[in-house]
Structure 1
Amino acid sequence: MTSIALPFPSAGRPRRVNRACWWLALIAILVAILAGHPAGADRIKDLGTFQGIRSNQLTGYGIVVGLPGTGDDNLEYTMQSVKAVASRFGLQLPPNVSQGLKNAAVVMVTAELPAFAKPGQRIDITVASLGKAKSLRGGALVLTPLLGADGQIYAMAQGNLAVGGLGAEGRDGSQIVVNVPSTGRIPEGATVERAVATGFDQTPYLTFNLARADFTTAQNVAAAINSRLGGGSAEAKDAVSIAVKAPVGADVRATLMSTIENLSVVTAEPPAKVIVNARTGTVVINSAVRVGPAAVTHGKLTVRIDENQRVRQPGPFSQGQTALEQKSNVSVDEERRPMFLLAPGPKLADVVKAVNAIGASPADLVAILEALKEAGALKAELIVL
């Protein structure tokens, strides 16, 4: 890091400070900071991950006990699970035990095993009811093995559940449910029993994968690595992967990966996109959107029908009867709005300003954008969710 000495006056000198020297020192500090962090630059670690450095999903089948009558009642597979747990301790349950199983529930247990997790470390787990349990609040998970995709046991789970939801039911059948009481979590509820080998210290290359495919960003990342480590150290294989030459050895590669992750790279401008959520009326337009020359007008046609009923009374001493007379009034109201012109190549601010000028609602904006896309004037991908 560059250090700069400021011209502070000594104790024996008069307290005179040269303003020009101070300004030059401050400018030098700002230049040093900006040189280390280019404008609009991102760290490489925020753009993606190294290949092989990933988490792994674990799943287990277990049973939760100690529920206050909100369990699975008499489901057959709940009975089998309870009997299997009891058999571990040499116990044999009686045949009619199914009548008292409302305090137990079969569950699925899931967890994420982080990269480089070592035996003895603890991870969080999520527990979800598999049967008819109404709530897992107050329950405890019995020791459950967690398996990976290869069928091997990588962790063991056990503990008391923390449930965010709740439910209550009256004798007349009325009930109230808040959130989801049939799902809970156990913070640090599983202990890692086996580590997953990543192999990052043995592969001939380190491969960095971008989270979003972009050829320009991939080339910029490779150029930043080569600028720091020397020419030929990194090569962009495609729009996602950058291969980096690295010596064999975990300690050397860990240092190299730390250096690469903290390099700053100027990312490419994202593709022009307009995202429309038709259900909520949300419209998001990124800064790369451009609009070609087009004239737009948007109006609203309202047809209104008023139905009125009037009572007609017969004349005195007549033989007529009181009757209802229907009267309809149909009117058409067309709102006049002036046409506005979009100049060639306006940016996002110009598009928003023009749309706001005509007072378009989100639904109207969607219609305008779709029409501009069909006319070939919208230079962006229109995505409707």
Structure 2
Amino acid sequence: MAIGLPPSSWCADAEVRLKDLGRFLGWRDNMLVGYGIVTGLAGSGDSSRHQATRQALANVLSNFDAAVGPEQLQSRNVAAVMVSGTLPPSAHVGDKLDINVTSIGDARSLSGGTLIMTPLRGPDREVYALAQGPVSVGGFRYDANGNLQQKNHPTVGLVPAGATVERQVVSPLTLQDGQIVFLLKDADASTADRVAARINETFGTGIASLRDAQSVAIRAQGGAAGLAAFVARVERLMVMPDWAARVVISERTGTVVAGGNVRIGAIAISHGDLRISVTTEYSASQPGLITVAGPQVRSLVIGNSELKVAESPKTVAATFPNTTVGDLVQSLARLQVSTRDIISILQAIKAAGALYADIMVQ
């Protein structure tokens, strides 16, 4: 079934906020990672074969003046894990972060465990956050006497607000020449030119200039104190992006997604359906007059084949002038053409050179 709006209601020229089209250079998230242990597991942790877990637990106990060697630790209530999180560019000291916890040993489940204080480091090996807290696992695993029941992945968990920022990241937006750079998510020279034109129209001629198909250089105003306010005003500007002509087809689900402005040349379509099937039925012929079976007496298997040819009465023959993909799909839907047949028709139109867009098959 095709669902759509009449062409007159399409928002092909809808304006979008500038902050939804891209980001400013230097304004980015930062990846954090750490190595720690989860305790309190009900016998579902790492086995004694995992030397790294026993060594990590011995190191933790040594911080509390407990002289215990790794060879003395045989508990399965502990699991070695990797802890990861994302530090936003606007994070301040004391802010809370969500973190992910994943097992790196042979633990069966992290359900019910608690992450012991783990430092989270950035690519520069500096500690930016400390993580600790109960692990929330959206699954389970129970096994006994050879029986196993498992749901989802019990060796992966989440600690909501489990990390505290200990070091702030400085994300400078202004370059050495006093400019800030806006980067588009999708490189497009037409959209970048419209962004520069809208900024110059709002703040004055010469404020913004096009650097390439993805970036626009903007001369910052207001000094260091007013930079945040100036960036906020730029983000709120409305710009009409230039959409690329593209048709996305999902053959798994039979879905067709296309922009309302994707054009199709004048075409004629003739689409029919012919189905051929061969059905074979097997039956066994058992001798009924022979009472004593011998090595030369056996059943006879007989196969009867039937050939069936069925042609669908819904043969479509239609001519379309210069139109759009949306009009074509709606017209074919009114003719009761299935979605998968519409996909085949669009692929054939592209091969014929009448579809002025790129087809992406998923």
Sort the TM-score into its range (normalised by shorter chain).
Answer: 0.7 to 0.9
Structure that is richer in helix per residue: 1
CA distance in 1 between counterparts of 2:298 and 2:23 reads 87
Q: Does residue 58 of structure 2 align to residue 83 of structure 1? A: yes
Q: CA deviation at 1:325?
A: 4.7
Contact 1:310 1:324 in 2 (8 A): yes
* Distance (whole Å) between structure 1 residues aligned to residue 203 and residue 71 of structure 2: 73
Number of the residue aligned with 1:271 = 244
Counterpart among 232, 240, 264 of residue 206 in structure 2: 232
Higher Rg of the two aligned structures: 1
Cα gap change, 1:92/1:328 in structure 2, threshold over 3 Å: closer, same or farther? same
1:301 is aligned to 274
Among 95, 120, 123, the alignment partner of 1:149 is: 123
- For residues 40-51 of structure 1, what are the structure 2 equivalents within 5 Å? 40-51=14-25
Q: Contact 1:105 / 1:129 at 8 angstroms: preserved in 2?
A: yes
Give the C-alpha shift of residue 310 in structure 1: 6.4
CA offset digits 1:69-99 (Å, max 9, x no partner): 1111211111111112122223222454343
1:343 maps onto 2:316 in alignment: no
Residue 53 (structure 1) aligned to one of 24, 27, 42: 27
Match of 1:242 in 2: 216
Q: Whole-Å Cα distance in 2 between the matches of residues 178 and 308 of structure 1?
A: 43
Consecutive unaligned residues in structure 1, runs of 5 or more: 1-38
Q: Which residue of 1 aligns with 2:105?
A: 131
Q: 1:382 to 1:104 in 2, by over 3 A?
A: same
Asked whether the equivalents of residues 81 and 104 of structure 2 are also in contact (C-alpha less than 8 Å), the reply is yes
* Residues 66 and 140, structure 1, Cα contact 8 Å, conserved in 2: yes
CA distance in 2, matches of 1:235, 1:349: 36
Structure 2 residue 260 is the aligned partner of structure 1 residue 287: yes
The DSSP-based 3-state class of the residue aligned with 2:323 is: coil
Deviations 1:341-369 (A, max 9, x none): 34232123321133324533333222222
Give the deviation of 1:243 after TM superposition. Answer: 0.7
Equivalent of 1:99, from 71, 74, 79?
74
State which of 37, 40, 46 in structure 2 corresponds to 1:63. 37
Write the distance in 1 (CA, Å) between the matches of 2:284 and 2:109. Answer: 61
For 1:297-345, what per-residue CA distance to the aligned partner results, in whole angstroms no more than 9, with x for missing partners? 222222222334567799999xx99966543222322335444334232
CA contact (8 A) 1:125 1:185 kept: yes
Match of 1:186 in 2: 159
Task: Normalising by structure 1, report the TM-score.
Answer: 0.81
**Paired AA for residue 310 in structure 2:** D
Query: Aligned AA for 1:175?
Result: L
Percent of residue pairs identical: 39
**Mean alpha-carbon deviation: is it higher for 68-77 or for 282-291?**
282-291
Q: Which moved more, 1:245-254 or 1:222-231?
A: 245-254
Paired residue secondary structure (2:19)? helix
Deviations 1:79-120 (A, max 9, x none): 1111121222232224543432x1000111111101131222
CA–CA separation in structure 2 for the residues paired with 1:315 and 1:117: 89
1:163-202 matches, cutoff 5 A? 163-169=137-143, 171-201=144-174
Give the direction of change, closer, same or farther, for the CA distance of 1:53–1:108 in structure 2 (3 Å limit): same
Could you tell me how far apart the structure 2 residues matched to 1:166 and 1:322 are?
53
Residues of 1 paired with 2:157 and 2:308: CA distance? 59
Q: Work out whether 1:352 is the aligned partner of 2:352.
A: no
Cα 1:242–1:133 shift into 2, 3 Å: same
Aligned: 1:213 with 2:187: yes
Deviation at 1:122, TM superposition (A): 1.8
- Report the AA paired with residue 340 of structure 1: A
CA deviations over 1:253-288 (Å, ceiling 9, x no partner) = 1111111111222222x1111111223322222212
Deviations 1:149-172 (A, max 9, x none): 111111111111122222222x22
Aligned counterparts of 2:81 and 2:298: Cα–Cα separation in 1: 74
- Tell me how many residue pairs correspond in the alignment: 342
Tell me the distance in 1 between the aligned counterparts of 2:299 and 2:110. Answer: 67
* Aligned residue identity for 2:72: V
Q: Counterparts of 1:185 and 1:311 in 2: how far apart (Å)?
A: 62
- Once residues 244 and 70 of structure 1 are traced to their aligned partners in structure 2, the CA distance between those partners, rounded to angstroms, is 56
SS for the counterpart of 1:379 is coil
Q: Does residue 332 of the first structure (1) align with residue 309 of the second (2)?
A: yes
Q: Given the superposition, is the C-alpha separation of residues 246 and 316 from structure 1 closer, same or farther in structure 2, using an over 3 Å criterion? A: closer
Separation of aligned partners in 1, 2:25 and 2:190: 20
Q: Could you tell me the TM-score, scaled by structure 2's length?
A: 0.86
Question: Cα deviations across residues 167-193 of structure 1 (Å, max 9, x unaligned)?
Answer: 222x22221222222111112211112
Question: Which deviates further from its counterpart, 84-93 or 206-215?
Answer: 84-93
- Residue 178 and residue 311 in structure 1: after superposition, are their counterparts in 2 closer, same or farther (change >3 A)? closer
Structure 2: unaligned runs, 5 residues or longer: 1-12, 291-296
Cα gap change, 1:173/1:324 in structure 2, threshold over 3 Å: closer, same or farther?
closer
